[in-house]
Structures are given as C-alpha cells and as structure tokens.
Amino acid sequence: MTVMTPIFEGLWDHYILWSVIVGAIAFGWLYHHSFWFTSKDGEKLPNVDGIEVGVFPKHNDDMRLEVAWTVLPFLLIVWLTYYSWGPLDAMWTSAEGGVHGYECDYDDPEYTGSNNVMDSSGIISSDCYHVIEITGQQWFWSFDCLELNDSLCDTDTETMEVYGSVPVLSLKKGETYFAVMDSIDVTHAPWFQHLGTKEDTVPGQQTTLWLAISESMTEESMILCAEYCGDAHSIMAAKLVAHN
C-alpha cells in the first residue's frame, strides 16, 4: 500500500532519518557505557562518588553535558517543526482563499472544475473546491454529495470481504473536495489511506478534511475508522473510488 501524497513520503523519510540518528546516538551511548563501565570479577574500584551506606551520594554532575542534552534535542524539535510547517499548512489550509481557493461557483461561465495540480514538494493546489458531507456513526460512514452532480460525486454500497456491506464514495480525479464532518454518537475518524489523512468526527461539533483527488490517485482505496469507537470499530470501513 502506498500513500499517494508525496508530501507525507518526504516527511516520513525525514523523520525516519532523524529517528535513526537519534537512536544510534542513544543506543550507542547506552551499549558503550554498559560494557565500558562493567567491573571485572574481583576488581576493586575507587569509590569516586564516595558512596556510603545510609548517606545520600555526592552530587556528581557535568554542566556542559546537561546543557548539551537539553539544547540539542530542543534545536532538533525546532528544526522538525519548521520542516513540517509547509505540509501541515497545506493540510489545514483555509477554506477562504487558501491553497484550494474558494468553493466552486458553478454558475460562473469560466468555471472548469478544481483543476488541481501537485507541485514538486507534493503540495496540491486548486482553482476551487466542492463541498461534501461525511457523518460517522456506530459503525458506518455516510457520505452526502449535496448538490454535486454524479460525475463529480457519487455514493453507492458494495460488499467487501471481511468488512461486509460498505459505503462507496466516488470522486473525480483532478477535483478537490472539502468534507464537512459530524458524528451522531461517539468520536470517529475517517482515515483516507491513500491520501494519508485522517480527522476526528466529533458529536455536536463540525470538523473538516480536505480531499484533493490528484490525477495520480489510485483507483480504489480504503477508508477506515482511526478512532476507537466500540465493538465494530475495526470493520467500520468504506471505499474511495477515484474516477476519471
């Protein structure tokens, strides 16, 4: 399974790289010290910390070390925040003139759809977007295409192995959708696997999620629930179809 949104692949690789570097330092240090400072059988070591039974050990610290392991991780966190800023900003862009513009005006004679395009960093931008609704409920998803015509948005049901009867949401490639979401019972979260995005649906509160269906999107992908919501949570599935 691949994530079809290159911004996440870039983020993933970058975070994995830093995890490996930090892991190598932390575990290298740990193993080095574990073996280096092991006493041999019968060896008598000098009591550098002046450890005595019943007496609190002498404080033995190193200011440079304390500063280093506070400042370096802090700088790394600042860097990773900076690095994630662009992708996160694109994921949570405004519905009022953000990277996807404004809601499409279907009466505008110049309207030709979202015409979304992906830049070299994987960020998708659009001329305009379409609004749909997603409702979470124990234990199924409901999709509402609102006023959109069938070629832009369509719903259906289908029987899938393991999951049984699941709803199908069919969206058009090159178009960008703004899902306005709600839940009628507990918290759920649709996870659009190939888009690599998920967002909570919360009872009594509206949340939103951008669904930018790029030309490179896989034809069929899964939507699962990513927030534990009770007995049938694991089979609370749906299918996303990206059509031409």
Of 158, 136, 154, the residue nearest 144 (C-alpha): 154
**Min CB(229)–Cu ion separation in Å:** 3
CB 87 within 8 A of CB 11: yes
Tokens 């179809």 sit on residue: 241
In the range 175-194, which residues lie near Cu ion by CB under 5 A?
Answer: 188
Q: How far is the CB of 221 from Cu ion (least distance, A)?
A: 18
Out of 132, 223, 229, 240, the residue judged to bind Cu ion by CB under 5 A? 229
Binding range to Cu ion, per CB under 5 A, among 45-53, 155-163, 202-210, 220-228:
220-228
Apex 181 CA angle, 8 and 108, nearest 5 = 85
Of 49-68, binders to Cu ion (CB under 5 A) are none
CB of 240 to Cu ion, least distance (A): 16
Write phi, then psi, for 144 (nearest 5 degrees).
Answer: -130, 120
Indicate the residue among 129 and 140 with the shorter CB distance to Cu ion. 140
CB atoms within 10 A of CB 208: 13
- Least distance from Cu ion to the Cβ atom of residue 95, Å: 25
Cα gap 106→108, rounded to integer Å: 5
Contact residues for Cu ion, defined by CB under 5 A: 188, 225, 229, 236
